[in-house]
Structure 1
């Protein structure tokens, strides 16, 4: 039985997705939907990791390839590839990922500050690391990941 004091929310619900051989997570509170790949219209004069835009239910949404954004090896998209539509402060963007695995609850006390790891994606993009059972999930800081995308989109208007 849930108490009403507001301290009971000891878990964070996240979407787990894959890039290369690692699992990443973003809070479900910012995820609008998970879509199969669709036709992406290229936009000239944008960084290479911004693949273009899609028209999703009447909303023109920029699409970012997270592998390329993080400087990872680019691989051809396949049937497992997904576009995760996220919304930050009225700004919607799609993230291309290798696969969207599942939705899980992460206890807040299992989330640790991101370690200083040489050779990983830029540490500014990571808000923390969560150990859940035998899985290690990298928690993304979407504000930092999407900062240049927001600038490009506002310049287009």
Structure 2
């Protein structure tokens, strides 16, 4: 069995999400701030008539914001409840990964703060942390976000 991730960078680290949850990869566009939103929510965008919240993975991972450049992208993903945009520094390759190159997250990395780590991939010697988009935001954060989007 093969697995196909969309690989992206936040700083020097590589992460990935399952291609099956990706709805699109978009160039950066104007983000409208949402008052009183969670710190990792950068704001919202209007993508072809749909309101999409933008989640800053830099902020989620405790990194400083950097100015947008030509490599910055929004990866639009579908969670169990709504679509969100993941703001990433750059998007890399999409490769097939064989099942024997997919590993569980080591126990030492498992905590409440990393429950969104799904597994680790070995792609040509590079270790890539796969993210579970349904666990990136805590349940109460997701509900608040959904309520905000529905009210717009």
* TM-score in terms of structure 2 length: 0.88
Pairs aligned (count): 147
Q: Which of 34, 37, 53 pairs up with 2:25? A: 34
Return 5+ residue gaps in structure 2 as ranges: none
Give me the whole-angstrom Cα distance separating, in 1, the residues matched to 2:108 and 2:11. Answer: 17
Report if the CA contact (8 A) 2:58-2:64 is conserved.
yes
Q: Which residue of 2 aligns with 1:153?
A: 145
Report if the CA contact (8 A) 2:53-2:85 is conserved.
yes
Greater C-alpha Rg: 1
1:95 paired with 2:86, answer: yes
Report if the CA contact (8 A) 1:50-1:149 is conserved.
no
Report if the CA contact (8 A) 1:114-1:123 is conserved.
no
- CA-to-partner distance for each residue in 1:113-142, whole Å, 9 max, x for gaps? 112456xx9321211111121211111121
Q: Which residue of 2 aligns with 1:7?
A: none
* TM-score in terms of structure 1 length: 0.85
Report if the CA contact (8 A) 2:8-2:92 is conserved.
yes
Report if the CA contact (8 A) 2:82-2:146 is conserved.
no
SS in 2 for 1:89: coil
Q: Which residue of 2 aligns with 1:3?
A: none
Q: Which residue of 2 aligns with 1:5?
A: none
The CA RMSD measured in Å over matched residues stands at: 1.9
Give me the whole-angstrom Cα distance separating, in 2, the residues matched to 1:105 and 1:25. Answer: 12
- CA-to-partner distance for each residue in 1:21-42, whole Å, 9 max, x for gaps? 1111111100000001000111
